[in-house]
Amino acid sequence: MLVRIVRMTFKADKVDDFLKVFEESKHKIRAFDGCRHLELHRDYHKKNVFSTYSHWIDDAALDGYRHSDLFKGVWAQTKALFDEKPIAFSNQKIDEVTGSNV
């Protein structure tokens, strides 16, 4: 499982535009072959900073999405709204701690 995190900083006056793009595309992205999970997070203190958190079955699935017409369309709309260059990370989950043993 590949965990992808993309942190994006938007121009303050373009946040609503980004949220509209995400709302219009989130179900298509989640339904894309190989995507197993999709979340949108907002920075607690910086209201114009967002991160997508997604799970992909492997590199090939993520690359398939990144080369798709869906990605190209969403990314073209999204990158026009940036205030800073986005930062992306591909990770592998090693451990998850749930509940309490206290």
How far, in Å, CA of 41 to CA of 57, rounded? 21
Any domain includes 99: no
Residue 38's domain spans which residues? 2-91
Interval 55-83: pLDDT, tens? 999 999 999 999 999 999 999 999 999 99
Interacting residues of 92 by C-beta distance below 8 A, sequence separation 6+: 1, 2, 3
What is the chain's mean pLDDT, rounded? 97
What confidence score (pLDDT) does residue 66 get?
A: 97
How far, in Å, CA of 74 to CA of 29, rounded? 9
Any domain includes 96: no
What confidence score (pLDDT) does residue 73 get?
A: 98
Any domain includes 62: yes
CA 26 to chain centre: 9
pTM of the full predicted structure? 0.93
Which CATH number does the domain housing residue 27 bear?
A: 3.30.70.100
pLDDT band at 101 (very low <50, low <70, confident <90, very high): confident
Per the structure, the count of domains in the chain is 1
Any domain includes 100: no
